[in-house]
Structure 1
Amino acid sequence: MKEDIILLLREIDKVSEDAFVKINFESYVSKLMEHAKIFSDYRSNQLIAFIAYYSNDPLNERGYLSMLAIHPEYQNRGYGKKLLNLAIEDLRSENFKYFDLQVVMNNKRALKIYQSFGFNLLRMDKKCVFMRLIL
């Protein structure tokens, strides 16, 4: 799955300059594979979408969304919402109270989706918006 995720992130990066804060995909995905929960969606043996989040802060009852990525050809078809719902339900089942995230400020589509799920603004900096969903 690691190589599939890297390929998907590269596909997204080709068509959207502002989708990601500049990261090294290989090291980032290695970290995800080791520490995050990942739900994925494949079509015809191709990864078309995944969500990666951390649920390793039970003391503060907080999960953290690291990445929600949808292949450009499959966007606006509900895959992101489906994966986000899976993550939210998983965190609720583990009795987490918060689900935090940050998103690049220019990613208006992502901001709109997160707001539709009830994520609220925590703070902003020059590049990112920090949001929280109360579970």
Structure 2
Amino acid sequence: TGKSRGRIYMLGVHPEHRGRGLGRKLLLAGMRQLKGKGLEVVEITVDSQNVAAVGLYRSLGFEVVEDTLWYEKVIG
């Protein structure tokens, strides 16, 4: 689409501080910043096995738009 986009990259909360709503607060603050800059769409990447993050993003209305695979090979 022709909408202006912003990306939040590597959002995380230290394990000792999880479960307090900090991830939600950080994400909402980032979204406000992007919207304040005139951006219309927010993109964020998450490991599909990170159940808590996936749940958070879905609860805030994010939708999966791409499923990416990550490959590796041991060479030494």
* Alignment TM-score, normalising by the size of structure 1: 0.48
Show the counterpart of 1:117: 60
C-alpha RMSD of matched pairs (Å): 1.6
- Out of 69, 77, 98, the residue aligned to residue 12 of structure 2 is 69
- Out of 85, 100, 106, the residue aligned to residue 49 of structure 2 is 106
Q: Which has the higher strand share?
A: 1
Residue identity matched to 2:56? I
The number of residues matched between the two structures is 69
Residue identity matched to 1:115? R
The question of whether the paired residues in 1 share the 8 Å contact of 2:10 and 2:45 is answered with no
Question: Are 1:126 and 2:69 matched, yes or no?
Answer: yes
Deviation of residue 126 (structure 1)?
A: 3.3
**In 2, Cα distance between the equivalents of 1:86 and 1:62?**
16
Extract unaligned runs of 5+ from structure 1.
1-58, 128-135
The question of whether the paired residues in 1 share the 8 Å contact of 2:7 and 2:43 is answered with yes
- SS of residue in 2 equivalent to 1:99: strand
Question: Are 1:89 and 2:32 matched, yes or no?
Answer: yes
Of all paired residues, the percent bearing the same amino acid is: 30
